[in-house]
Amino acid sequence: MPRIAKRPASATPGGGKKVPRVEAMKAMKVTKATKVVIPAKKTLPAEKVVNVAKKPLSAKNEFKARCDVVAKAVKTAPGISASALDMLSRGCESALTPFKDDRHQIQATIVSWIEQALGAVQASLEGNFAEAQAKAVTADEDKTKREADVAASEDSLTAATEAFSLCDDKANASDRDVDVAERELAVAQFAQEKADAETRKVQVVLQAFEAILAQDGTYMALKTELKPKQKVVATFLNQFKKKSFEACFEETLTTTLNAALMKEPPNRSDFDGKVFESFEEVTAAKIAAKSTIIAEQTAASAELNAVVVAAKTALDEKQEVSKICSVAKVEPLANRKQCEQAVKDAKNILKDTKPHIVEAAAVTKEAEGVLADFKEHTMEVFVGLRDRHPVVEEVAEPEVAEPEEKVDDVVHEGAETTKDADPVADTEMAAAETTDVADVADVADVA
């Protein structure tokens, strides 16, 4: 196994001293909060900064640059052959170099041709500007028309919506009327059915009472039976215990009637006869009462039937109206949907016109800027070169000095006013006058 070389002391933190492993790890650990400091860029001192501003052109280079502006514009002239434009652009500098009065006739002719070419350029730019303006006006007019179309379509939609709302309101009202008529018919039919059921119940009881007194009925047979049977009598009397006959006959009457029916006809007493008479009278009274009830219920049922018929008729009429209203709102609904689509289409078309308006405005602005730049820059440069004249420096005429007055006269005339004058101020004024005279003499020498 190879030997592991010991770590040199200089490589251990602490300058060769042994450091515990934990402290060494803490010393080598870099936390997230550690900031990396980037040194700032060194700035050059003010005296070492190089001035990169463009140097002004010399007079010769400036003249050539102006001629190049004209030559470049000449090449864009419309309606002239490329060779002719190339000739004019090449001859710009040579034709415009002499002053206006010093040009040869050929140079003057070339200058006039250049002016014609620039005029054609200006006319073309003006035409472009006018065309752009016309397109912008057309775009604005188209926008106005599209906005009018949107407004008209919205008005149509409003009218269609109102028409549909009117038809829809009528249809809804007719539907509500149908609902009311259906409820009224249901109530009338229920009342009629209830009355008919009560009538049927009374009729059943009436038929039972009528069957008692029928000549061929059980009662008449038992009344004349020579040998009555207890079972048959009990069956006859038990029917009165049913719900339909409840409380129709008193218990005493049924009891005495049972005793009378069980006797043979020859063995019956007068009391038994009176029992039979009482029973028959009660039964007849019940038949009369039930008949009266049935008659009344029949009349009421007829009235209820009339109500049902009227309710059915009203329901049929209202259903017909509802059907007509439902059919009537189909067309307004379709018209409203069509108008909604028309509004959407008109708004989409208007939205599509906005980019054209923006583009037309941008083109117009650009054409206006190009034309203004051509007029204010290119044409001014050309006019300046075309009408160039030599610069004549004007020399100021020397001023004629006024003759000096005699000192004695001045002194005597102003003796009273110069008693308090400052001698130093007088000396400075005299020196200034001497200097002005010397300057005038120098200007005269130069002239």
Per residue in 305-324, pLDDT (tens digit) is: 999 999 999 999 999 999 99
pTM of the model: 0.50
pLDDT of residue 55: 56
Residue 281 maps to a domain:
yes
Do 432 and 310 lie in a common domain? no
Choose the final residue of a domain: 334, 354, 376: 334
Give the burial class of 42: count Cβ atoms within 10 A of its Cβ; 0-12 exposed, 13-18 middle, 19 or more buried: exposed
pLDDT of residue 317: 92
Residue 414 in tokens: 């102003």
Do 320 and 442 lie in a common domain? no
Residue 379 maps to a domain:
no
Q: Which domain holds residue 434?
A: 407-446
Ranges 201-210, 289-298, 336-345: which has the least confidence: 201-210
Do 435 and 296 lie in a common domain? no
Choose the final residue of a domain: 290, 318, 334: 334
Helix H or strand E segment including 232: helix 230-238
As for how many domains the chain has, the answer is: 2
Residue 102 maps to a domain:
no
Q: Percentage of the chain surpassing pLDDT 70? A: 72
Residue 259 maps to a domain:
yes
Do 319 and 194 lie in a common domain? yes
Residue environment code for 222-248, b if the CB has 16+ CB neighbours within 10 A, otherwise e: bbebeebeeeebeebbeebeeeebeeb
Residue 356 maps to a domain:
no
Residue 266 maps to a domain:
yes
Q: Given pLDDT bands bounded at 50, 70 and 90, which one contains residue 21?
A: low
pLDDT of residue 248: 65
Residue 286 identity: K
What digits encode the pLDDT tens for the residues 128-180?
A: 999 999 999 998 999 899 999 999 999 999 999 999 999 999 889 999 999 99
Do 328 and 423 lie in a common domain? no
Q: Given pLDDT bands bounded at 50, 70 and 90, which one contains residue 445?
A: very low
Residue 315 in tokens: 């329901």
Rounded-to-integer distance, Cα 207 and Cα 221, Å: 18
Residue 51 has pLDDT above 80, yes or no: no
Number of other residues whose CB lies within 10 A of the CB of residue 321: 17
Q: Given pLDDT bands bounded at 50, 70 and 90, which one contains residue 186?
A: very high
Residue 301 in tokens: 């049922």
Residue 358 maps to a domain:
no
DSSP labels for 63-84?
A: HHHHHHHHHHHHTT-TTS-HHH
Choose the final residue of a domain: 288, 309, 334: 334
Decide if 260 contacts 228 (C-beta within 8 A): no
Do 421 and 317 lie in a common domain? no
**Average confidence (pLDDT) over 105-109:** 93
Higher pLDDT, 401 or 293: 293
What digits encode the pLDDT tens for the residues 201-220?
A: 888 888 877 887 787 777 77
Residue whose structure tokens are 């650009």: 366
Residue 162 maps to a domain:
no
Do 312 and 206 lie in a common domain? yes
What digits encode the pLDDT tens for the residues 257-283?
A: 888 878 888 888 888 888 888 888 888
pLDDT of residue 340: 93
Do 299 and 422 lie in a common domain? no
Do 200 and 328 lie in a common domain? yes
Rounded-to-integer distance, Cα 256 and Cα 262, Å: 10
Decide if 437 contacts 401 (C-beta within 8 A): yes
Do 211 and 292 lie in a common domain? yes
What dihedral angle (degrees, nearest 10) is formed by the CA atoms of 428, 432, 438, 444? -170
DSSP labels for 361-395?
A: HHHHHHHHHHHHHIIIIIIHHHHHHHT--------
Higher pLDDT, 29 or 354: 354
